[in-house]
A and B are shown apart, each in its own frame.
Chain A
Amino acid sequence: MLLFSYKIFTIILFILCSANSFADKLIVDKRHSLNSIKKAIALAKPHDEIIINKGFYTEENIIINIPLRLTGKDEPVLDGEGKFEIITINSDSVYISGIIFKNAGVSYLKENSAIRLENVRDCAITDCKFFNNFFGIYIAASKKCLIQNNYIQSRGKTETSSGNGIHLWNCSNITIKNNNIIGHRDGIYLEFVKDALIEKNYSKKNLRYGLHFMFSDGCTYSQNKFENNGAGVAVMYTKNVEMINNYFYDNWGPASYGLLLKDISESRIEKNSFIKNTTGIYLEGCSKSIIEHNVFEKNGWAIKLMANSMNNTFLKNDFISNTFDLSTNSRQNFNSFDGNYYSKYTGYDLDKNGIGDVSYRPVKLFSILAEQQKPSLILLNSLFIELLDIAESVFPSLTPETLVDNRPSLRRIN
């Protein structure tokens, strides 16, 4: 028996060794003869692995035209000297991991990035660090790539002199997972992307949006954290989006939104937390979407619902301690609110089924006044306004009459 397993072991070892012999390993080290990555790439055959040892490499723009595996050992640094793009990948099946990229050059003509993938498939960028680059990872017209476990940080001062952390254009089936993106223009930017999975990323303190996507149908965003971004998260002109379990926190400022939705349809926004944002969700031109099981806490406006949004369902959300739960700019209402919890609800529940017997109007008169005339917001917290709100809730005259939650919950749901 022992002999038999020994045989199997040798066979496996043999197979492994022979498989290994197809892919050579080239070791780049500052102290050895092979001290340049460019040289190594020129020497390499397709599917070889280039191991880059610890060191500081400034090699202007490195272009990869064959399938390769670039692995950093002990975090080597590749520097773009503030002038160049660092790595350009024009081949399928390129894997990059464990490398630190620094100072890809700011350019007002080209979109210089630490790593650019163009027209490729099956590539992966994992466990890399990016500091102070113009663009971090730039992917164009590519398919089936993986971006995972990267740390991307920049110190952009203005929106024009700063690029995006992860930038996708015209891609499909891309997975972006477990990345930290700090201080870029947009944390994650997607345009014309299909079927992407964006999961467990943390996007913080970006100048403009933590996540920004347009024309990107069928993408899923889950368990991401968006914190303290200049303008929060903006998503536009897209169908079939799923945003689940994300965390929108502290996007606070006069032009800041937790989540800005423009022309989004047939999407699902579920189990997200919106905490301390100026506006939790801003909906403009959205239709047929379901917003359920979300928590809105301590926002200025939990939801701003513009009149051109129709057939959206707001189900079982928690509205807690928001200055305004809901604001709208129309007396018409084509959306439905059902079974939400409102911390401002003052009704009663005689039959003890957990559902309030008095229906609740989440739109207050003052939020309508403030929507029409911004300066009237100076009366926030005034006794006069409280009295007006009470009077209006008894006899609605300016607030949308049909915008009612008929089954408000008495307890927190989520």
Chain B
Amino acid sequence: MELISKIIKFELSNAFRSKWILVYSLFFFLATYLLLSFESDSGKAALSMMNIVLIVIPLVSIIFGTMFVYNSIDFIRMALCQPIDRNSLFIGLFFGNSIPLAVGFFSGTSIACILNGITLALGSNFLLILGVGIALTFIFTSIAFLIAIIFSDKTKGLGFSIIIWLVLAVVYDGIILFIVYFFRDYPVENAVLAISLFNPIDLARILFVLGFDISALMGYTGAIFNKFFGSSLGIILSITMMVIWFIIPILFGLKSFYKKDF
């Protein structure tokens, strides 16, 4: 444990010393600030903010995470020459990478919100954005670590990361649309609900959409989704799915990291 915190501390100081975290944070600060000041309706701004969060955070987290592992190969090799537990090293590296990303996003967005006079009590939508943004950061960093450990080749790993992002952000929705159309004669609502639970980006998007009361537009489908996510089962299940998306890649990553010959 002590070792993990030592590694995290080292990585954190490393990250905060370099400029990228500042740039990342500044990006979210500017985006939120501009949206809030140019959009008179804070609900609409939150909706645009959500689109940014859903696209940018997964992409940046997965690519940055993969790059991070490849760039730290020398450090890993060096560290492994010491009497250091591999699990601690992996977990330390993981949090050393994901925490700065999460902090960068959180600070940028929340400072912009506070400057625009949106308090936490007022902006439950923004609270949702912050929570989901942080969750997505951890989930996609863990996927990135898994990919980077499995593929020794940098190009392969990066390519695979981009493909994973593309699948989850774009192709998955295409598949859902296909299912909705292919099984148009059947009541597909519950099936679609189940399918979208398995994609963290979709899950986040649906949580947002329901938060904005757009569900009335969806008629029957909206009613089903609202009922599900309004129930405690729905909330527990969606949080569980998010946690699973975070835990499983980490566990597999750990396993491969444990076996990997650097």
A contact residues vs B (CB 8 Å cutoff): 252-256, 278, 298, 300-301, 321, 323, 369, 372-385, 387
Contact = CB atoms under 8 A, between A and B. Distances in A.
The prevalent SS among residues of B at the interface is helix
Given A373-B184, A375-B188, A375-B221, A380 B196 contact: no
Given A252-B216, A384-B174, A377 B222 contact: yes
Contact of B225 (A372, A378, A382, A384): A378
A378 B221 contact: yes
Contact of A378 (B172, B192, B216): B192
B50 A381 contact: yes
A178 B223 CA distance: 37
Interface string B176-191: 1100110010001100
Nearest to B223: A254
Interface stretch (B80-88, B120-128, B201-209): B201-209
Nearest to B171: A384
Contact of B222 (A254, A256, A323, A383): A254
Contacts of B209: 380-381
Contact of B217 (A301, A382, A383, A385): A301
B3 to A, nearest CB: 40
Contacts of A321: 41, 44
Nearest to B196: A378
Contacts of A372: 184
B217 to A, nearest CB: 4
Nearest to A380: B209
A253 B214 CA distance: 10
Interface string B47-76: 100110011000000000000000000000
Given A379-B176, A383-B169, A374 B220 contact: yes
20 contacts: A254-B216, A254-B223, A301-B217, A323-B217, A369-B177, A374-B221, A375-B180, A376-B177, A377-B218, A377-B221, A378-B221, A379-B176, A381-B47, A381-B50, A381-B205, A383-B54, A383-B170, A384-B171, A384-B172, A384-B177
Given A298-B41, A383-B173, A387-B170, A377 B217 contact: yes
